[in-house]
């Protein structure tokens, strides 16, 4: 299983508030293959943002990762110290947030903020370091440097190189006149430009994994189309892996290859984009599809909403989190949460209807066995 860049195993994250424990993420597991785009879709409070923050280890007090493993290239991020995780944040894994205005520091220029990441993390390539080392006149020093290069340690970027790199990435994301725009402050950028600058910042160290937490939710559709187009382009150019979190099924269909549907802190269904859109097996996924309008010209279909409201994570339902709103709910659903049933090689679904002993309901397949 070496082609998995990220493996999350039974992750639980909770917030310990004065009202009690809010269980935001309740035991999720998934793998992410190198080079893919994984979409996580869910409503507010479904735990999609908290699980991504957990991967970055950015959950703040009173939040805490209670249980679970997050294996990034075989390294368990949960066990790393604060100092060690710093080497991963920004360098190996970076994040693009929802609101471009609040995630940029308003008192620093774009240049300042972009160079900070690059100066902190980037080392020059061994080839370049070797070229430089040859020019050192004193023999002792030169040997010292060459020794370091052999051990894989090269010097960090200097300011001039960092600026060049920052400008290069701003150009890549399509900011006009990056040489002059880089000296400006975030408020001088428009919403779409700010989001582009954030993408550039996230890319600046060529991370292996980029987590996008609703990056287009605050933007207009025409700007959203620009940013999605940009993400596709840079993904191909830089060959990174992307986790894309959103509540918009349309964006998922457009961008992602694999999809995870979350609800109440748990994974409801997981599969390829075609599985989720053309052959959904979980009542919640089906419900989501029916709640968005898919009218054909000339005739209006009435929407089929999901009754009720999302669960209170302070007192989550004992069984399946969706059971209070599910029209197929059975006794066992309220008592015990189902595990993931295998539907096909690519698709799993967490619903008791997939169990062998469950009654037959039209539209739901039975699973061969538990995963």
Partner 1 sequence: MAREKEILEVKDLKKYFYIKHSFFGKITKTLKAVDGINFKIFEGETFGLVGESGCGKTTAGRTIISLYENSGGEVYFDGKPISIGFEEYKNEIIDLKDQLKEILLQIPKEDTERIHNIKVLYKELLRIIKYKLYKAKIRQRRVKRNRDPRDIQMIFQDPYTSLNPRMTVSEIIAEGIKTHKLLEGDAINERVYYLLETVGLKREHASRYPHEFSGGQRQRIGIARALAMDPKLIICDEPISALDVSIQAQVVNMLEDLQEKFGLTYLFIAHDLSMVKHISDRIGVMYLGKLMELASSDDLYQEPLHPYTMSLLSSIPLPDPEANKKSKRIILKGEVTSPINPKPGCRFAGRCKYAQEKCTRIDPQIEEIKPKHFVACHFVREINDLK
Residue the block writes with tokens 């995780």: 85
Residue the block writes with tokens 């169990």: 355
> Going along the chain, which residue ranges are E strands?
4-17, 20-33, 37-41, 63-72, 75-76, 93-96, 209-213, 241-246, 258-263, 266-272, 341-342, 348-349
CB of 253 to partner 1, least distance (A): 5
Q: Which two tokens stand for residue 7?
A: 């493996």
d(CA 290, CA 238): 37
Q: Which two tokens stand for residue 56?
A: 């970055």
Task: Indicate the residue among 215 and 287 with the shorter CB distance to partner 1.
Answer: 287
CB of 305 to partner 1, least distance (A): 4
CB of 261 to partner 1, least distance (A): 12
Task: Indicate the residue among 154 and 226 with the shorter CB distance to partner 1.
Answer: 226
SS3 17: strand
For every residue of 121-175, DSSP letters joined together read H-B--HHHHHHHHHH--SHHHHHHHHHHHHTT--PBP-HHHHHHHHHHHHHHTT-
Task: Indicate the residue among 166 and 326 with the shorter CB distance to partner 1.
Answer: 326
Task: Indicate the residue among 305 and 368 with the shorter CB distance to partner 1.
Answer: 305
* Interface ranges with partner 1 (CB under 8 A): 43-44, 190-193, 220-226, 228-229, 247-255, 273-274, 277, 287-295, 297-298, 300, 302-307, 309-310
CB of 325 to partner 1, least distance (A): 8
Task: Indicate the residue among 41 and 55 with the shorter CB distance to partner 1.
Answer: 41
Q: Which two tokens stand for residue 211?
A: 């987590």
Whether residue 130 contacts residue 149, with contact meaning beta carbons closer than 8 Å, is answered with yes
Alpha helix segments (H runs only) across 173-242? 178-181, 191-203, 221-238
Task: Indicate the residue among 287 and 319 with the shorter CB distance to partner 1.
Answer: 287
Task: Indicate the residue among 193 and 234 with the shorter CB distance to partner 1.
Answer: 193
CA-CA-CA-CA torsion sign (36, 37, 42, 48)? positive
Alpha helix segments (H runs only) across 23-86? 48-55, 82-86
Whether residue 46 contacts residue 264, with contact meaning beta carbons closer than 8 Å, is answered with yes
Task: Indicate the residue among 164 and 220 with the shorter CB distance to partner 1.
Answer: 220
Task: Indicate the residue among 75 and 101 with the shorter CB distance to partner 1.
Answer: 101
CB of 53 to partner 1, least distance (A): 20
CB of 223 to partner 1, least distance (A): 6
CB of 110 to partner 1, least distance (A): 17
d(CA 245, CA 215): 8
| Count, residues in the chain | 371
What element of type H or E holds 117?
Answer: helix 110-121
Q: Beta partners for 31?
A: 7
CB of 41 to partner 1, least distance (A): 9
CB of 203 to partner 1, least distance (A): 20
The DSSP bridge pattern shows strands 209-213 and 241-246 to be parallel
CB of 356 to partner 1, least distance (A): 29
Task: Indicate the residue among 27 and 280 with the shorter CB distance to partner 1.
Answer: 280
């Amino acid at each position: 299983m070496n082609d998995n860049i990220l493996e999350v195993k039974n992750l639980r994250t909770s917030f310990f508030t004065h009202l009690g424990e809010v269980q935001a993420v309740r035991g999720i597991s998934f793998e992410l293959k190198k080079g893919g785009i994984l979409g996580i879709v869910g409503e507010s409070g479904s735990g999609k943002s908290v699980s991504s923050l957990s991967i970055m280890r950015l959950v703040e007090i009173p939040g805490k990762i209670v249980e679970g493993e997050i294996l990034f290239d075989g390294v368990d991020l949960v066990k790393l110290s604060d100092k060690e995780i710093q080497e991963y944040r920004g360098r190996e894994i970076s994040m693009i947030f929802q609101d471009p205005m609040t995630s940029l520091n308003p008192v620093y220029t774009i240049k300042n903020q972009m160079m900070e990441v690059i100066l902190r993390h980037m080392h020059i390539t061994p080839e370049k370091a070797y070229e430089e080392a040859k020019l050192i006149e004193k023999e002792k020093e030169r040997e010292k440097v060459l020794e370091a290069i052999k051990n894989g340690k090269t010097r960090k970027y200097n300011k001039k190189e960092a600026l060049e790199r920052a400008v290069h990435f701003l150009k890549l994301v399509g900011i006009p006149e990056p040489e002059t725009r880089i000296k400006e402050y975030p408020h001088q950028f428009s919403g779409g430009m700010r989001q582009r600058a954030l993408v550039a910042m996230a890319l600046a160290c060529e991370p292996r994994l980029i987590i996008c937490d609703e990056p287009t939710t605050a933007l207009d559709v025409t700007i959203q189309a620009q940013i999605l187009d940009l993400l596709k382009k840079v993904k191909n150019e830089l060959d990174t892996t992307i986790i894309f979190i959103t509540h918009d099924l349309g964006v998922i269909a457009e961008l992602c290859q694999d999809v995870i549907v979350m609800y109440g802190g748990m994974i409801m269904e997981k599969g390829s984009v075609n599985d989720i859109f053309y052959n959904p097996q979980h009542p919640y996924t089906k419900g989501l599809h029916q709640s968005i309008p898919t009218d054909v010209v000339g005739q209006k279909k009435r929407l089929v909403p999901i009754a009720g409201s999302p669960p209170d994570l302070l007192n989550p339902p004992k069984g399946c989190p969706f059971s209070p709103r599910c029209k197929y709910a059975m006794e066992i659903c309220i008592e015990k949460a189902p595990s993931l049933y295998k539907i096909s090689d690519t698709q799993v679904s967490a619903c008791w209807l997939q169990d062998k002993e469950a009654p037959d309901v039209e539209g739901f397949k039975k699973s061969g066995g538990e995963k």
